[in-house]
Structure 1
């Protein structure tokens, strides 16, 4: 089995090997543009860089300035090449970095950090040209961070915090700031990679690096767009195998957000629904709220694995129980009934008027008494408990301090995870105690439920998800000629589909009314006649598809009508004849299967409701090869197709298995020749009753 999965042509073969020590812990650094001119931004940045780097263990931090002999009393050099020792990292504080980068490259500098903006984010030809020039420099042995970045990578971090740490990746300096402030919640930070425009070093590089660090328990990222969707998937797969979750806040769901991303870093955000599908395939956790992302990351760092979705919920009030129970149901967490012996223990501990099933309502009565600890222990011991969730309603001394003490003890005892929710704006000593002990802590009910679901899904994915490299073994098939670019008509498109085992409705192509009559008479039952042309993508809209044709005379008339209509409504279209095919009358569902190239992931498969209403209904799901059968079934289940095939309103069940098999055969086509095919549109693919299979009745391929 190959080390890397099948991939689109002209994509990286795998993740890069990078000598990270020269960036994260450099021995020799040159700061280009360093100055001691008071009040200038460069003076502040030079001093900050020198202080931080020396604290990290750098042996020398050299200022580089075209005219100064010293900067803050430190000997300065006119150029990087004049520095008398090899430079690990050059920090460029200058507006025009390209000439200096060329000099750094020639001098053997290992890494360069480029502060300057004015590249792809401008959205102008000048900016794009500068980005291309920078990319050519970065294509050599020197790695480049940025442009449009800063010194966050050398931020000093607090020591002595509990558990493992988060690593932060951000395509924005300021949006990373609230993430690293997780330290205030007792969550340590291992490193922060500010990507900027990603001319070279990218999201995937840092994910792969951080996933291999034993001190990293979670990776939190703010992303506007991915430089390369393929390496992103490889890196996410590596992190999943290492047990390090990747939590992403991905912007660009709306046109407004996408436009801002283009202006900020020059990233194209891509189709958001496709990103959702890829995140699911890769085991990436997507979150909308930055606080929830921080708290979930902290929970991963501080918690034992959540082995399932079964929650034991202990609340101080019935209202809280109702609210959180609703949220659990909404986000797919289970509140299983407690074992009889657990219920008996609870009934002996709590007054009879309180609810002692799951959720368990202590009413606050038992919280500050020894019974409060016993209630929590009973829930932890219950065999159906995967995780204990305990909201703390307000900072009420006597209640919050008592339950905090008990939760800290249970967290340390384990082995099941304990999750607390602190809903009070007052963060007193009890709150500090939870943070200091590393109890997974959230500050909203929804955040806790979303976080627990994310943890349960991640650990399930880690156990069950097939490796990306083994989900498909593609054998090249004998296919029609794909060297001639352009649109293929229905007949040629069908030949390509058949080559990959996709059932295509048998048909004849006729060029006269008499031949149409003969072809129709050879079919038992009604037939369909439709124009054959590579120039007609939507034949039904033009009246060039006639269904329910029975008998030779009707076929002859239908042929003449199609030819006349084509001449009137599409006179420029090349008409290669008329297709005559048996009409399928037992279809349970009409399905659209498509292939399109979606930035930044390449060939992407779409499945959705098909037929003439496909564009109006817009009920679709996506998958980016390679994926497995489980994801193909998920795609179907994300649309109304799954409901239709299940026997909607007493109708027959459809052949779901045949549809999934067809998706996987299209998947093989994409892995094999997807780089040669820009578009595939199979619409409709008719799904027949269970056991009778599927059949494509129309198709269009663009080479």
Structure 2
């Protein structure tokens, strides 16, 4: 269970990066990392005009600054206190007892929740209590001094970096060597108090920051994450995230590294997609996609064009682009005619555009690229560069630089070669372009640019609706499970249609109920959670005698009562429901239904809010989606009825009563959707409303 206490009044995060006063407990001139961090603190204080106060009872001076024995002896309010010693709890408690005012504590020590022991978790709880009592905020524990690492004063739009691992953030800072400008770095460690989401939201407020990069091992507060994502979309600041935990091993390592629970990876995928966050897997992809978002204009159309000097390269890239879901429209007749005035007719110019290479030596490259970009259907150009072709390499690179200088559409150069030690490679970076080392990263960047929050109406609609959602709650408290007839009745009151059903206490009542409902019927034994596994579901009962025999057997096998339902047929069996994610709260689920649902695992998920467009997308992504459109002569089902069911479940989920809900199967038919069975688990407060 994550540690949460009510947050104290928030000192501005600005003070972490522009502190008026810094104290370092355990300050040292040498001793490896201690000396380096002490010097970082001194440099930071000097760079922003703040004061530096070394705290070390065994030293008289550190780097020419007089030492004091403890924080109480500093004598002024402290914006940031860095604790390098092994007992941060004692340091914070002593300072609080002395009435010292500290805005932020930065704790480097480890041995807390990340070790995975009860002792470590309890120690982290005591640390947080000490910080809360002091009226301060905490960065860490298990963090580092990267927040104060000097960043190069480079021109252009900047990227802010949040990383729960210091080492994993390093590749982005090294991109400064290529001219990529950074605004901030926040190393957050265990995030016992301040989280990645706090910094992400704050970074989106910075006018100089265009993109936020995040290396994430887990989130503690779904509410803070949602708030940060909303802020990013509303302010037009894309987020590019590496989120580990796709595997069991990755999830386990996340917890052992920074004490984070990885959460459900499929649910995080849904959240990222719905809220416009680009998720990447590799650090080189992370750097290159973020750089493209920072350096490129937002596309004005959905189409992608490939302009290449090689037909083989163009075909390869086109295959991968199509597989990635990018749209490569045929260029307009006018564009194709203009291109063929330059490019010999034996080369294809429909899209991809293959100019054959030789024409580049005539200086025609800029005109070809301009024609491609000026096509009204095109929003973005992919341009592979032959990195090992003397003369041709330079011609393509110089063409891209010249055209990009005047174009209002993104151009993504792809360096096709193992070595980047080439003047043209450096020329592209110096021109302010993103440069990709492989097709995959370029395609990921293209998708991210085309999905930019500034042009993605669906993402903006999600954020608009999210503003009205209630806060996410961390624990359901007491939970009650409704009987099946209660569950179906509860859902029917809220608008979901079910097969007609009646309760029966004995054999005679079961026969009477069946005759009233009309044959064929299904008979279910009450009093068992997994009826099918217990043999408590009998289908295909076509007359009273069959019902009588089945009812007698079920009661004899231990059923506490009976439920008789009309047996519906036709259509496709689906599963729909509401689940709860530990971090992100209610999750809407749709998938292949019936008794094999768990084995087949053909499921799509969405967090709140759910839009009609998202519901259609979920349904279309199911492997069984072709069955819904009619298969081997079967009529297509009513997809809109499925969408309406999912939207109804999303409204129910937002009310906060449901802990878990399954309708399985939901029979999707040409005449709508009808539920055949239901499980509903409610918070105790919702139980009274179910009665």
TM range (shorter): over 0.9
Q: Where does residue 687 of structure 2 map in the other structure?
A: none
Deviation, 1:562, is: 1.0
Q: Provide the rounded CA distance (Å) in 2 between the counterparts of 1:681 and 1:12.
A: 33
Relative to structure 1, the CA distance from residue 14 to residue 385 in structure 2 (aligned partners, 3 Å threshold; closer, same or farther) is farther
Alignment of 1:264-303 (within 5 A): 264-303=257-296
Please, which moves more after superposition, 170-179 or 341-350?
341-350
Query: Is residue 495 from structure 1 mapped to residue 479 from structure 2 by the alignment?
Result: no
Structure 1 runs not aligned, ≥5 long:
1-9, 476-481, 568-574
Please, which moves more after superposition, 339-348 or 262-271?
339-348
Q: Provide the rounded CA distance (Å) in 1 between the counterparts of 2:382 and 2:276.
A: 24
Q: Where does residue 542 of structure 2 map in the other structure?
A: 550
8 Å contact kept, 2:578–2:586: yes
Q: Where does residue 659 of structure 2 map in the other structure?
A: 678
Deviation, 1:643, is: 2.4
Query: Is residue 581 from structure 1 mapped to residue 565 from structure 2 by the alignment?
Result: yes
Q: Where does residue 209 of structure 1 map in the other structure?
A: 202
Q: Where does residue 667 of structure 1 map in the other structure?
A: 650
1:449-485 deviation line (CA, Å, top 9, x unaligned): 121011101247643431535369789xxxxxx9974
8 Å contact kept, 1:53–1:154: no
Relative to structure 1, the CA distance from residue 217 to residue 631 in structure 2 (aligned partners, 3 Å threshold; closer, same or farther) is same
Q: Where does residue 377 of structure 2 map in the other structure?
A: 384
8 Å contact kept, 1:31–1:90: yes
Q: Where does residue 524 of structure 2 map in the other structure?
A: 530
Please, which moves more after superposition, 302-311 or 216-225?
302-311
Residue aligned with 2:219, SS:
coil
Deviation, 1:102, is: 2.6
Alignment of 1:446-485 (within 5 A): 446-459=440-453, 462-465=456-459, 466-470=461-465, 485=479
Q: Provide the rounded CA distance (Å) in 2 between the counterparts of 1:23 and 1:367.
A: 52
Q: Provide the rounded CA distance (Å) in 1 between the counterparts of 2:205 and 2:25.
A: 32
Match of 2:192 among 190, 199, 205: 199
- TM superposition score normalised by structure 2: 0.93
1:166-213 deviation line (CA, Å, top 9, x unaligned): 111111000000121121232111111111000111111111111111
Match of 1:687 among 664, 668, 676: 668
8 Å contact kept, 2:572–2:627: yes
Deviation, 1:47, is: 2.0
Query: Is residue 80 from structure 1 mapped to residue 71 from structure 2 by the alignment?
Result: yes
8 Å contact kept, 2:386–2:392: no
8 Å contact kept, 1:304–1:417: yes
8 Å contact kept, 1:472–1:626: no
Relative to structure 1, the CA distance from residue 142 to residue 474 in structure 2 (aligned partners, 3 Å threshold; closer, same or farther) is closer
1:561-601 deviation line (CA, Å, top 9, x unaligned): 11123x3xxxxxxx441001111123x11121232221211
Match of 1:90 among 63, 81, 92: 81
Q: Provide the rounded CA distance (Å) in 2 between the counterparts of 1:93 and 1:100.
A: 10
Residue aligned with 2:281, SS:
coil
1:482-531 deviation line (CA, Å, top 9, x unaligned): 99743321012223222322223331111111111111111232011001
Match of 1:624 among 588, 603, 607: 607
Deviation, 1:702, is: 5.5
Q: Where does residue 486 of structure 1 map in the other structure?
A: 480
8 Å contact kept, 2:21–2:45: no
Q: Where does residue 351 of structure 1 map in the other structure?
A: 344
Q: Provide the rounded CA distance (Å) in 2 between the counterparts of 1:15 and 1:129.
A: 21
Please, which moves more after superposition, 242-251 or 392-401?
392-401
Q: Where does residue 593 of structure 2 map in the other structure?
A: 610
Deviation, 1:18, is: 4.6
Relative to structure 1, the CA distance from residue 142 to residue 61 in structure 2 (aligned partners, 3 Å threshold; closer, same or farther) is same
Q: Where does residue 686 of structure 2 map in the other structure?
A: none
Residue aligned with 2:632, SS:
helix
Please, which moves more after superposition, 638-647 or 205-214?
638-647
Q: Provide the rounded CA distance (Å) in 2 between the counterparts of 1:649 and 1:348.
A: 50
8 Å contact kept, 1:16–1:205: no
Q: Provide the rounded CA distance (Å) in 1 between the counterparts of 2:114 and 2:383.
A: 46
Q: Provide the rounded CA distance (Å) in 2 between the counterparts of 1:550 and 1:154.
A: 77
Q: Where does residue 42 of structure 1 map in the other structure?
A: 34
Q: Provide the rounded CA distance (Å) in 1 between the counterparts of 2:311 and 2:89.
A: 64
Q: Provide the rounded CA distance (Å) in 2 between the counterparts of 1:86 and 1:403.
A: 58
Residue aligned with 2:647, SS:
helix
Match of 2:552 among 544, 548, 560: 560
Relative to structure 1, the CA distance from residue 309 to residue 331 in structure 2 (aligned partners, 3 Å threshold; closer, same or farther) is farther
Query: Is residue 596 from structure 1 mapped to residue 590 from structure 2 by the alignment?
Result: no
Relative to structure 1, the CA distance from residue 585 to residue 262 in structure 2 (aligned partners, 3 Å threshold; closer, same or farther) is same
Q: Provide the rounded CA distance (Å) in 2 between the counterparts of 1:603 and 1:341.
A: 51
Relative to structure 1, the CA distance from residue 14 to residue 651 in structure 2 (aligned partners, 3 Å threshold; closer, same or farther) is farther
8 Å contact kept, 1:64–1:76: yes
Residue aligned with 2:524, SS:
strand
Q: Provide the rounded CA distance (Å) in 2 between the counterparts of 1:53 and 1:581.
A: 75
Please, which moves more after superposition, 452-461 or 285-294?
452-461
Q: Where does residue 648 of structure 1 map in the other structure?
A: 631
Deviation, 1:15, is: 13
Deviation, 1:429, is: 1.8
Q: Provide the rounded CA distance (Å) in 2 between the counterparts of 1:652 and 1:380.
A: 44
8 Å contact kept, 1:30–1:89: yes
RMSD of aligned C-alpha atoms? Answer: 2.3
Q: Where does residue 473 of structure 2 map in the other structure?
A: none
Relative to structure 1, the CA distance from residue 127 to residue 650 in structure 2 (aligned partners, 3 Å threshold; closer, same or farther) is same
Q: Provide the rounded CA distance (Å) in 2 between the counterparts of 1:223 and 1:300.
A: 19
Deviation, 1:397, is: 4.0
Residue aligned with 2:591, SS:
strand
8 Å contact kept, 1:659–1:694: no
Q: Provide the rounded CA distance (Å) in 1 between the counterparts of 2:489 and 2:131.
A: 44
Q: Provide the rounded CA distance (Å) in 2 between the counterparts of 1:562 and 1:116.
A: 62
Residue aligned with 1:597, SS:
strand
8 Å contact kept, 2:575–2:591: yes
State the structure with bigger RCO (CA 8 A, min sep 6), 1 or 2. 1
Deviation, 1:391, is: 0.9
Query: Is residue 701 from structure 1 mapped to residue 681 from structure 2 by the alignment?
Result: yes
Residue aligned with 1:31, SS:
strand
- TM superposition score normalised by structure 1: 0.91
1:323-371 deviation line (CA, Å, top 9, x unaligned): 1010111111222222222222222212333223211122221223221
8 Å contact kept, 1:239–1:246: yes
Relative to structure 1, the CA distance from residue 508 to residue 269 in structure 2 (aligned partners, 3 Å threshold; closer, same or farther) is same
Q: Provide the rounded CA distance (Å) in 2 between the counterparts of 1:13 and 1:386.
A: 47
Q: Where does residue 6 of structure 1 map in the other structure?
A: none
Q: Where does residue 413 of structure 1 map in the other structure?
A: 406
Match of 1:422 among 397, 415, 418: 415
Relative to structure 1, the CA distance from residue 54 to residue 87 in structure 2 (aligned partners, 3 Å threshold; closer, same or farther) is same
8 Å contact kept, 2:603–2:622: yes
Relative to structure 1, the CA distance from residue 360 to residue 16 in structure 2 (aligned partners, 3 Å threshold; closer, same or farther) is farther
Query: Is residue 99 from structure 1 mapped to residue 90 from structure 2 by the alignment?
Result: yes
8 Å contact kept, 1:92–1:114: yes
Q: Provide the rounded CA distance (Å) in 2 between the counterparts of 1:288 and 1:373.
A: 35
Q: Provide the rounded CA distance (Å) in 2 between the counterparts of 1:520 and 1:166.
A: 67
Deviation, 1:88, is: 0.7
Q: Provide the rounded CA distance (Å) in 2 between the counterparts of 1:119 and 1:402.
A: 57
8 Å contact kept, 1:474–1:668: no
Alignment of 1:14-413 (within 5 A): 18-36=11-29, 38-55=30-47, 57-105=48-96, 106-139=99-132, 141-161=135-155, 163-413=156-406
